[in-house]
Amino acid sequence: MMSTPIRGEVWYVEFNPQVGQEIGKIRPAVVASVPGVGRLPLHIVVPVTEWKPNYAGYIWFVYLPATSENGLQKDSGADAFQVKSVARARFRERIGSVLEEQMEEIVAAITLCVGG
């Protein structure tokens, strides 16, 4: 039985099938949803992608250096512009968690994308 994803955790998530420019394949994602919000078995996640230097100029990307705590294999970025709700069945494996400060940066980046 898989554990329930918790805010701040990093999981491998299955994003296929994708449509158009949506993020695809199995990749890491940070769980952003607050426990107890929503009535469906969904979680809000922010996909993570390999870091590229030009991402530093994008306010919606949060730099996540690879650490043993977050389980990322390479320096990465949380892409807040691609935030989405996904079914619990898409979660494959928990690999770690981000620091509270990083979670706050991710939430701020989501806010920049949606206004607030």
- 66, 111 in Cβ contact below 8 A? no
**Domain locations along the chain:** 9-114
**Architecture in CATH of 9-114:** Roll (2.30)
The answer to whether residue 109 scores a pLDDT higher than 90 is yes
**SS3 annotation, 65-115:** CCCCCCCCCCCEEEEHHHCEEEEHHHEEEEEEECCHHHHHHHHHHHHHHHC
Region 21-38 average pLDDT: 89
Please state, in angstroms and as integers, the Cα–Cα distance from residue 102 to each residue in 9, 10, 48, 106, following that order.
Answer: 11, 12, 13, 6
How far, in Å, CA of 42 to CA of 58, rounded? 28
Task: Give residue-wise pLDDT tens across range 46-100.
Answer: 999 999 999 999 999 999 999 999 999 999 999 999 999 999 999 999 999 999 9
Under the banding of pLDDT at 50, 70 and 90, the label for residue 101 is very high
